[in-house]
Amino acid sequence: MSSMKEAIFSRRSVRTFNDQKLSEEMIRELKEFSASLTNPFGNEIRFVFLEDSSLSSAVPVINEAPLFVCCVAKKGADSEEAAGFEFEKFCLKAVSMGLGTVIIGGTMKREEFESRCSMSSDEYMPVMTPVGFPAKPSVRERMMRRGVRADSRKEKIELFFDQDLLHPLTMESADLSEALEAVRKGPSAVNKQPWRIIYRDTVCWFYKTVSRRYTSEETGDMQKVDLGIALCHFVTVLDENAILYDYIFEDPQIAGTEDLAFVCGVRV
Ligand SMILES: Cc1cc2nc3c(=O)[nH]c(=O)nc-3n(C[C@H](O)[C@H](O)[C@H](O)COP(=O)(O)O)c2cc1C
């Protein structure tokens, strides 16, 4: 079993699984882990486990997977970020156990999953993931990865800034650099990487670029899910490196950030 930090740096989305089933103990461990999760926003998130490989036909981008785990969130402010945060923690746990996952927000027959989640009217399912043992990527998977340039990420100077958006962050403290790299390595919908971070007065302020393309009634804003994932990667590295931090939810109103959506700050 690898650490969560190792999982962050070794992970990739897996869309091709071999036919090995998960043992009962593994499923129990994943269920217990998911039940223990919390998020900085305090929103209610629950996980629905569907041990039914026939659901694979409802996800055209994968081959057969033995398990599907759905993320169900209570509607409300920050619910997508909260979902992204907890769901990525779950996916990292699966990776640390030698399993593969791919967060799916779009390419699935949603109703097949939603109908099995017993959702109330104030809940929705932003994302789900198949879970299984990774196999050699299929030709289709390799083509998909090429299509979204899944192996590349924006340069640091495009993502991380010092004081304001005019100055790229060049002087990184040792404490921060690994946590920032963990953000950069993170998965995001269509690999768009909408995270931006401004470092000022020992706080990393998290923002999201704004695009309507990734928002719908059913899913909420997929890029807010991306921000929850980024935050998860960031604080997971701080936790493992024993660096203390706290969250700030008040917008510091930094000049020039008007076109971005403020998420939160992490004081390191
Ligand atoms: C919120 C979110 C939604 C995603 N939705 C899909 C999807 O619908 N279908 C799919 O094949 N991949 C989906 N992905 C996976 C991304 O395409 C993938 O994370 C990205 O290309 C980077 O590749 P990597 O995860 O291997 O690093 C999603 C990822 C995230 C974070």
Residue nearest to atom 13 of ligand 1 (CA): 104
- Pocket probe for ligand 1: among 8, 11, 13, the residue whose CB has the most ligand atoms within 8 Å is 13
Residue 229: per-residue pLDDT: 98
CA atoms of 261 and 228, how far apart (whole Å): 13
- Going edge to edge, which strands form the sheet with 123-132? 45-50, 67-74, 123-132, 100-101
What domains lie within the chain, and their CATH numbers? Answer: 4-143 (3.40.109.10), 151-267 (3.40.109.30)
The pLDDT tens digits of the residues spanning 226-243 come to 999 999 999 999 999 999
CA 41 to chain centre: 15
CA 83 to chain centre: 8
C-alpha of residue 102 to centroid of ligand 1, in Å: 6
Q: Which residues pair with 73 in a beta bridge?
A: 45, 124
Is-above-0.85 flag for pTM? yes
C-alpha of residue 68 to centroid of ligand 1, in Å: 15
Q: What is the DSSP string of 75-90?
A: SSTTHHHHHHHHHHHH
Which atom of ligand 1 lies nearest, measured to the CA of 187?
19
CA atoms of 50 and 4, how far apart (whole Å): 24
Tell whether the torsion through CA atoms of 108, 234, 37 and 261 is positive or negative.
Answer: negative
Does residue 222's CB lie within 6 angstroms of at least one atom of ligand 1?
Answer: yes
The pLDDT tens digits of the residues spanning 101-113 come to 999 999 999 999 9
CA-to-CA separations, 123 to 106, 112, 227, in angstroms, rounded = 18, 16, 20
User: Stretch 107-131: mean pLDDT, rounded?
Assistant: 97
Arithmetic mean of pLDDT over the chain: 96
Does residue 95's CB lie within 6 angstroms of at least one atom of ligand 1?
Answer: no
- Given pLDDT bands bounded at 50, 70 and 90, which one contains residue 174? confident
Cβ atoms within 10 Å, residue 211: 12
C-alpha of residue 164 to centroid of ligand 1, in Å: 29
The pLDDT tens digits of the residues spanning 50-82 come to 999 999 999 999 999 999 999 999 999 999 999
Cβ atoms within 10 Å, residue 175: 14
Cβ atoms within 10 Å, residue 264: 20
Does residue 107's CB lie within 6 angstroms of at least one atom of ligand 1?
Answer: yes
The pLDDT tens digits of the residues spanning 200-259 come to 999 999 999 998 888 888 888 999 999 999 999 999 999 999 999 999 999 999 999 999
Which atom of ligand 1 lies nearest, measured to the CA of 225?
1
Contact 263, 248 (CB under 8 A): no
